[in-house]
Amino acid sequence: MKVAILTPTFSKFSGPDRVVLNEATELAAAGNKVTILTFKTDFDARQLQQKRIEVEVLGMPKSPMLERIYRLLFFADLLKVNKIVGRLRQFDEVISFLYPMTLPVMLAKKRYKEKLKYIYYDVGVAYPQLFDSILEKAYMKIFAAFTRMTVKNADAAISISKFCGSELKKETGLDSTVKYVKIDVERFNKNAAVKYKKEIAAVIKKHGLKKPVLLYVGRISPHKGVHLLLDAFRIIKQKMPAATLVIVGKHTFPKYSGQLQKMAAEIGGVVFTGFVADEELPAYYGACDAYATCSMWEGFDIPIVEANAVGKPAVAFRIGSHPEVLKKGTLVAAGNVQEFATAVIKLLAK
């Protein structure tokens, strides 16, 4: 069977794109011919071809600001939209992740009807109110509205958690099958401390880590609550002055990142690593004593699952999918920084 997977960006640092890669790999291993259509990618095409996955890069503006505007107003690029719609006729099944890639699939489904099966892969959309500026809030509201409009004629839907499935049903009326995100258990397991002993030592030396070590992995974005994590760490430092907080992730909001850097300098003991390649992450989990996230919205939260798999407990807010995916650690009331800090201190004192 010929399967197309559409995702706006196919990037190594993106959680949803990890799901895209998992799905493409699984489908290709089952004997399907898989093609990923995306605006841009940083994956090595040759490595993907070894997995029998083809990638077609559609192109878009290179400026981060223009890129976001283009994605939101993609419907105005009639030539490219129609080109994609025509291209989709060559596939038996089309899986779409996130707007605006849902737009051409919606149109293709209307045009080709029973000849094409449209599956919407629901990774969720963060709540607009969690973002800082009025423009960001407005952007996310429009993004969510366009998503709802373009998935309603899907033949089926897959959600990455019960939480996402419930939100999708409420917003669109679509029922979905829950398919939890798979992690690489060959790398993320309780033997990681032994298997990656040298790599863990190198991480500790590189960043000058002093125990106890807290770790966060993910995008540096307002809805991820990194500012709340720093507020909690300020309290933790009062009880554990030597503690280190390692923040792993790509900076995608410059103004927000600048505010975080200023907070971190005042608190001390905070390490921003920037993007870390997936193959290096087991060493970072191995180097920490606990995983910590103050994210206010999560469709799944891969890092919590990876940290637990390595044997490290996690502290997180009781939001989104966290009650489903956290198996070892503590959940606290959403936004309660004092309770969060107390839970971390209690966990590290054991």
Residue 14 domain flag:
yes
Residue 185 domain flag:
no
Counting residues of the chain whose pLDDT is more than 90, the rounded percentage is 88
Domain-ending residue, one of 178, 200, 222: 178
Average pLDDT over residues 199-208: 96
Position 350 pLDDT exceeds 80: no
Position 60 pLDDT exceeds 80: yes
Q: What is the pLDDT of residue 133?
A: 86
The count of domains in the chain is 2
Residue 171 domain flag:
yes
Residue 273 domain flag:
yes
Mark whether 162 and 220 lie in a shared domain: no
Domain-ending residue, one of 149, 178, 207: 178
Mark whether 37 and 110 lie in a shared domain: yes
Coil, strand or helix at 271: strand
User: 302-319 burial string, b = 16+ CB within 10 Å, else e?
Assistant: bbbbbbbbbebbbbbbeb
Q: Does 250 or 174 have the greater pLDDT score?
A: 174
Residue 184 domain flag:
no
Q: What is the pLDDT of residue 314?
A: 98
Q: Which residue type occupies 179? A: K
Residue 16 CA to residue 330 CA, distance in Å, equals 25
Residue 326 CA to residue 307 CA, distance in Å, equals 10
Average pLDDT over residues 141-158: 96
Mark whether 164 and 105 lie in a shared domain: yes
Q: What is the pLDDT of residue 15?
A: 86
Domain-ending residue, one of 132, 152, 178: 178
Residue 183 domain flag:
no
Query: How does pLDDT run across 205-225, given as a tens digit for each residue?
Result: 999 999 999 999 999 999 999
Q: What is the pLDDT of residue 144?
A: 95
Mark whether 167 and 197 lie in a shared domain: no
Residue 6 CA to residue 244 CA, distance in Å, equals 40
Mark whether 231 and 278 lie in a shared domain: yes
Position 250 pLDDT exceeds 90: no
Position 132 pLDDT exceeds 90: no
Determine if residue 293 is left, alpha or beta; phi over 0 gives left, psi from -120 to 50 gives alpha, anything else beta. Answer: beta
Closest CA to 300 of 203, 159, 127: 159
Query: How does pLDDT run across 254-289, given as a tens digit for each residue?
Result: 889 999 999 999 999 999 999 998 899 999 999 999
Residues spanned by the domain of 17:
2-178
Half-sphere exposure of 50 (CA within 13 A, CB side): 4
Mark whether 93 and 128 lie in a shared domain: yes
